[in-house]
């Protein structure tokens, strides 16, 4: 069973994106793009399995 982790936005997390993901971002709004990047930044290169993340949505971190 997948584990659930609470995700807090951090300026220390880095995301590397492929061109396909960058081109797909044109179809999303700014807030939607930020949510995806916050979640993607929590994926570690050493992760072997999929995990379930919970993102508390508030206006502050995304503005």
Taking the C-alpha atoms of residue 58 and residue 16, their distance in angstroms, rounded to an integer, is 24
Please say if the pLDDT value at position 2 is more than 60.
no
Q: How confident is the model at residue 44 (pLDDT cuts 50, 70, 90)?
A: confident
- Rg value, the chain, Cα: 12
Q: How confident is the model at residue 61 (pLDDT cuts 50, 70, 90)?
A: low
Q: Where are the domains of the chain?
A: 4-62
């Amino acid at each position: 069973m997948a584990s659930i982790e609470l995700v807090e936005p951090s300026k220390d997390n880095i995301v590397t994106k492929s061109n396909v993901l960058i081109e797909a971002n044109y179809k999303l709004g700014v807030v939607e793009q930020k949510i995806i990047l916050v979640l993607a930044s929590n994926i570690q290169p050493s992760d072997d399995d999929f995990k379930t993340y919970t993102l508390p949505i508030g206006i502050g971190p995304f503005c």
